[in-house]
Structure formats: C-alpha cells, structure tokens
Structure 1
Amino acid sequence: MTAEVYPNDYFGGPDKLDSAQNNANECKWLIEEIIKPELPNIIDNVERCLDMLQSEQVFRIPISSGCNETSDRPSVKGIVARQAGQLVDFQAVVRFPEFHNGKPILFKKSPESHFPLQQIETITGHLQTVLITLEDLQITMEPKSFVDKIGQVLELLIKSINLLQNPPRDFSFPDSGNAAMKLLFDDHEALSQTAHHEISLEIVLFKKELCVDFRNLIKVTKKPWCEIDPGTGKSFGDKIKDQLTTDRSKNLSSVLKENGVQIEQATFLNNLMSNFSAEITTLPQAQNYLNRCVTFNDKVVIEIAKVALTTSDPFLISTSTKLSSLENSVSNYFTNLEV
C-alpha cells in the first residue's frame, strides 16, 4: 500500500510546503467560509443604525442646570428636540448673574431656522458608504480587493464612533464662532450681546449624548490684548503664544517688550496705572491675559461662567452600542485577513 502527500499540506514536509500559496488558500477560506456568511448580519445592523439616525421620530428632551432662577449661580431651563440630523426645536431660559444684571433671557428657536447636527449627518454619510461597500464585498472574489474594502469599512466605522464620542474642533468653543447662536435665533446679537458681555451657545454630540453648553464671556477691551490681526484672525495673545512656542529661549517679558508692551513691577500703583494705559502692564496681568483670553467670534473674550447640560438620547446610545459591536467584529476579520 502506498500513499502520496500532496503539496501545500502541513504533513508534506517543509520541502513540499508553499507558504505563500498556503496563506492565500487560508485567506480565501476565511473570506468564503467565515466572513461572507456573516455579511448579511453586518449589513442588517448597519441598516438599523441608519434607521435610528434617520428616524422621523422627534425626541423632545428637557434640559436643566438644576438651579432656580433666583439663585446667585447661573441657571438654564428648557427643552431641545432632535429629528434625524436636525435640531427642530430649542427653547431655554438662561440666567447669568453678570449678564443683564441677572435678568432671565428667553432663547427660543426661530420657526424658519435650521440647525444641522453635522456629526449625525457625517456619520449617516459614512454608514451609507459602509452599506454600499459591504454589498460589494458579497460579490468580491479577489482576496486583496476584499481585504482593502473591509479595511475601508473598518476605517469608516471607527470614524463614526469617534464622531459620536467627540466633536471635531470646528464644532466646539471657541472655533465654532458661536454658529449655534447665529443659526438658531434671528435676533441673536440682541439676545446674546451687551457692551461688555457675550453669551455663547455650543450644541454638539459628546460621549453619545447631545450636549448643550452656555458660556458667559466678558469682552476684553484693554489694548493690545483686544486687538486681532485681520490678516491672520489671531489676537495679540495668540501672537505672543506663537512666539514663545517658536523660540523657547525667550521669556515672556522679553517677547512682550519686543511687541511694544512695557512691563512694570507688580505694585498697587502700577496695577492701577496698567488698567488705564495700553503700553503698561505687570507680568502677573500679562500672564493672566495669556492664560484666560480666547479668540472667539472675531473678538477677544474671557470666560467667566459656564453651564454644561447633557441629554440622554436613546437612539444615539443604541447606535453607539451597535457601532462598537460592528467595529469589534470587522476589526477581528480585518486582523485575521492581514496575518
């Protein structure tokens, strides 16, 4: 009795084993026998995520800081409503003790205004692309193309999860430029600004919740700290920070002097004089401006109070859970295919 051991069989010995061909066979087997049978289930879960994100159901969620309007602390009480990737209603009574002498201000969304929740719209676009790619994978025969496409799916799932967890910098304070305030309320300037203060509104997704932040900002009027370069959009403070970062051999005093600011010793008289003179400042005052000044909405401001509110949106929580599960499955497949 005789037996023949076939090439590419583990029992054939090293001389008969073609590693490259063996890896290719294993990859093909993994794709055809393990991954492709699971694609319909993955597609189904992606479709469920899309259904939740695009649902026409309106979620009306109360928001409250927990403080009453007579308290010395800032307070916010209202309601926010989301439908798919749009904020369809927003009403809030906001009170900051330093703003309008503590008078409660009603912020009510204009009927014709539209405020897109860009994170949801971007995630929706990502998942629509994922769905098309998954459908292509069902008929993709070439292993390398299959691996490339499943890598694209994984990348889009990770991006979608990150968008649910953290807003892009452009959507957050101070880079947003008070976009929510400008888009929601026709009379936003009258509502949000006085001669010395400005109220900012930030609405973003953070940690799979819809978050609403109100800030009371005091406008900086002391020169040169209030000045903004029209060419770069950066403030004097931004310029000083950039110079300190670029040349670490220089200290704050020397950089300020190079930019025409006179540094005086921190005495009571000098502190008083520096409040009235643009050219004179004490080092502690300069450090305070650098630490606290923020370039926002084409002006320089200092945040003096903030109210941060979060809402529990059931569809966003469920979508986040499903996306994490999908990412884990696809990541395992992709890792095994790349081995």
Structure 2
Amino acid sequence: MTANILNNKTFIDTVLSIQSTQNDKELHWYIINIILPDLPQIIETLQICSNLLMYNSPQEPDSKQCIEKGPSIKLPLSLTNQQDSVNGIITRDGPYITDLNLTVKNHYFNKHFHKLHLIKPMVLEQLVNVLNLIKDSIAILQNLQSIDKELTLLSEKEENEHTIKHDQLICDFKKLLVNIHDSKTNLQLPSDPNLVFPLQVTDGENFEPQLSDRIAVDFYLSQNQVCIDLKSLHRITEKPWCEIDANGKSFVDKLKEEMKNKRSSIGDKSTSDAINQNNNTNIFSNMMSHLSLRHKYDTMDYITRCITYNNMVVVVNKKFEVSTEDPILISCFTKLDSLESIINGYISSLNSFSM
C-alpha cells in the first residue's frame, strides 16, 4: 500500500515536472518570437512621444541632418459667462508655458488688471513627469533587448537560466506598465496637490502687471488640455478665523480636522446624530460668541469657504477655469494608451504560461 502511494506521488511529480518544462519552452518561444521583436517599435513610439512633448516634433533636432525643433504651440483661450469673459492666447513650448496674453472682464479681477501678460516661462511639472517616466521606460526596454541575445544563446539544457531571464522580463514589463499608466495620468489631471492652488503659490513677478497676493494663477494639464485657473481672493482678517499656527495650519484647518475625526470615530447613526447635535450646540455656539454681526461671513461660510494659502486665510471671490485642446498632448495620450494595451496583453500571456 505504501509502495503504491509512493509510486503515485512519483508519477504526479513526474507529470508536473514535464508540464513545467513544456510551459517554460512555450514561454521561451513566445518571448523570443513574439515579444522581443516588438521592442524596437515600442521604443520608437516612446521616443516619438518624448520628442513631441520636448521639441514639438516627432524627431529630435539635428543640425547635421537639418532637422529643426518644432514651432511653439499657440492655443486659443475663450470663456464667456453672462457679463464675464476671458479671452486670449497661451503658448506652450515643450514642457513650458512661454507666453500668455489674456483679457479678463470681471469686476473682481479688474480691480487688479484688465490684460495679463506672462513675462517669465512657467514649467508644466506634469509634462516634466511624463518625460522622466518615458525616459525610464526606454531604459527598461533597452535593457530588455539585451535579454534577446542571452536567451537565444542559452541551450535547452539551461532551464534554470531560462526561468531567471523570464522572471526578469515579467518584472520589467510590470514596471513599464506602471510608468505608462502614470504618464497617461499626468496628461489627464494634476494628481500631485503641490502643483495647484492652494499649495502652489503664484509668483506675481512672472506677470505683467505684477500680480498681488490676492490673485492666484495655475497652469496645469487636464484631459489632454492645457488649462489656466484664475482666482480672485479675499483675505480673512477676522479672529479667530485668520489665525495660523507655527505649522502653517489655520484655525479652520484644525476645526475641520477635529470635526472629521469625531465623525470617523462614531460607529452607529444614533450616537452620531446625538454628538452632531451636541457639536452644533457647543462648538458653533462657542464660535459665534467670538464673532460680531458686522462680519461679512457667517460661521458656516468661514468653515466651508476658508482656505489656507500662502500663509494667509482666504476665500475665493471669483474663479475662472479656461482650457484649450492641445493636439500634441492628444496624440501622445493615444500612443501611450495603445502601448499600455500592448504591454497588458504581453503580461497576461506571460502570466498564463507561468500558471
């Protein structure tokens, strides 16, 4: 009986070993004949994306071959809303906004300017991120090309070496997939909060006329569009709302955190209702005792509208978000989307061989 069990186990182990060897051979064939021959084309597509974003042309400038950098991309800006309007031209050159000529019609903004001109280039950090991710992706692919010769030279007897190279390729393709996904994300939205208001602080000296700290201007990418965000701000001077501690947190920031923590610590609805009612009675009543009726905003306005910006507490009087489609960004996104689909297909196939 024991001998039969041992024989069955030996048989199963033998079958599994043969199956594993066969899977490895099929995986080896797939990598050599399907994936590796495609790598030069993938590298070329990524290089074209990089050139488009850096030089506004699919080719890198080369004076010897009389290849010049592409012209700057001039894009129209236009927004009309009742009595307000924003019109002008924004110019992108590679990862920089190099020019802006804007006419704004709105009484909040017109206290500071009617026409706005950019006098210093502004970097689009999202494009810098994309360029770095593409550069890293090309390096990964160039390294994978070296596997081509190594795998070709390996004999069928060197199965352990096969497995090591196969595992390296799968790992690198996963890194590549993350890079391409992150590149697409950067073209779709500013995922880093440091790139936009209120963490991004406008340097008024970059504009003509020079902007006061009551105007915030953001440049960013969203949905393959170049966007400009204009905000007219009102500074809060009433206590305790205007107070900011040594860590840069305002009274409102701390109040919001306290309210959020109390809500998250409550388990059942009935307790939540009771405590919320108690909060309304105690917190807001106490707050109101510090305020006078002459203040411009009521308590809920302060809580919901106050923002900590540039070591001030402000509310936004008026905001304009104006965007314009950039054909180069659209082209690059389409190419990256196609590459993401291809890499996903490779990884799915590689995983199926490894099962």
The residue matched to 1:192 in structure 2 has which SS?
coil
1:185 pairs with 2:195: no
Tell whether the 8 Å contact from 1:226 to 1:299 is kept in structure 2 after alignment.
yes
Q: State how far apart, in whole Å, the 2-side matches of 1:192 and 1:77 are.
A: 21
CA contact (8 A) 1:200 1:217 kept: yes
Please give the alpha-carbon distance, in whole angstroms, between the structure 2 residues aligned to 1:49 and 1:337. 26
Q: Which runs of 5+ in 2 are unaligned?
A: 1-10, 56-68, 152-164, 264-274
For these two proteins, the number of residue pairs brought into alignment is: 297
Kept in 2: contact 1:244–1:255 (CA 8 A):
no
Partner of 2:15: 16
Counterpart Cα distance in 1 of 2:45 and 2:30: 21
Residues 24 and 299 from structure 1, CA distance in 2 versus in 1: closer, same or farther, beyond 3 angstroms? same
2:116 counterpart SS class: strand
1:304-333 alpha-carbon deviations (Å, 9 max, x no partner): 222111111111110010000001101111
Whether contact under 8 Å (1:109, 1:184) holds in the other structure is yes
CA distance in 2, matches of 1:256, 1:124: 49
1:143 to 2:157 alignment = no
The CA deviation at 1:84 is 0.6
Q: Are the aligned partners of 1:218 and 1:303 in contact in 2 as well (CA < 8 Å)? A: yes
Choose which of 70, 79, 88 in structure 2 pairs with 1:65. Answer: 79
Which of 157, 168, 176 is matched with 1:153 structurally? Answer: 176
1:313 corresponds to 2:326 = yes
Q: Are 1:96 and 1:216, in contact at CA under 8 Å, matched by a contact in 2?
A: no
- TM (norm. structure 1) is 0.80
Task: Give the deviation of 1:16 after TM superposition.
Answer: 3.2
Aligned match of 2:86: 76
Q: Deviations over 1:230-269 (max 9, x none)?
A: x221111101011112223562443457xx63449xxxxx
1:253, 1:82 → 2: CA distance? 53
1:267 alignment counterpart: none
For residues 78-157 of structure 1, the aligned pairs below 5 Å read: 78-101=88-111, 104-110=113-119, 113-140=120-147, 141=151, 142-157=165-180
Using the TM superposition, give the Cα deviation of residue 106 of structure 1 relative to its aligned residue in structure 2, in angstroms.
2.1
Cα distance in 1 for partners of 2:54, 2:328 equals 10
User: Matched residues, percent identical?
Assistant: 28
Query: What is aligned with 1:268?
Result: none
- Is the contact between residue 217 and residue 231 of structure 2 (CA under 8 Å) also seen in structure 1? yes
In structure 2, distance between residues paired with 1:183 and 1:117: 18
Residues 114, 183 of structure 1: 8 Å contact kept: no
Q: Measure the CA separation in 1 of the matches of 2:281 and 2:35.
A: 64
Distance 1:138 1:321, change over 3 A: same
Structure 1 segment 1-339 matched on structure 2, within 5 A: 16-18=15-17, 19-55=19-55, 56=69, 57-66=71-80, 72-73=83-84, 75-101=85-111, 104-110=113-119, 113-140=120-147, 141=151, 142-167=165-190, 168-178=192-202, 181-182=203-204, 184-185=206-207, 188=210, 191-193=211-213, 198-229=214-245, 231-248=246-263, 249=275, 251-255=279-283, 261-263=287-289, 273-275=292-294, 285-339=298-352
Deviation (angstroms), 1:338: 2.4
Mean Cα displacement is larger for which, 14-23 or 168-177? 14-23
Cα distance, 1:241–1:130 mapped onto 2, change above 3 Å: same
Structure 1 portions without partners, runs of 5+: 1-11, 265-270
* Structure 1 residue aligned with 2:59: none
* Local SS of the residue matching 2:171: helix
Within 2, Cα distance between the matches of 1:28 and 1:184?
Answer: 57
Deviation sequence 1:261-312 (CA, Å, 0-9, x none): 3449xxxxxx8x3335xxxx9xx92222111111112211112222111111
**C-alpha offsets along residues 135-160 of structure 1, whole Å, 9 cap, x if unaligned?**
11112241111111111111110110
1:18-62: CA deviations, max 9, x gaps? 233333223222211211111111111111111111114201112
Q: CA RMSD in A?
A: 2.6
Q: Distance in 1 between matches of 2:238 and 2:16?
A: 79
Kindly indicate whether the alpha-carbon contact (under 8 Å) linking 1:80 and 1:89 is maintained by their aligned counterparts in 2: yes
Separation of aligned partners in 2, 1:253 and 1:327: 54
Q: Does the 8 Å contact 1:72/1:97 carry over to 2?
A: no
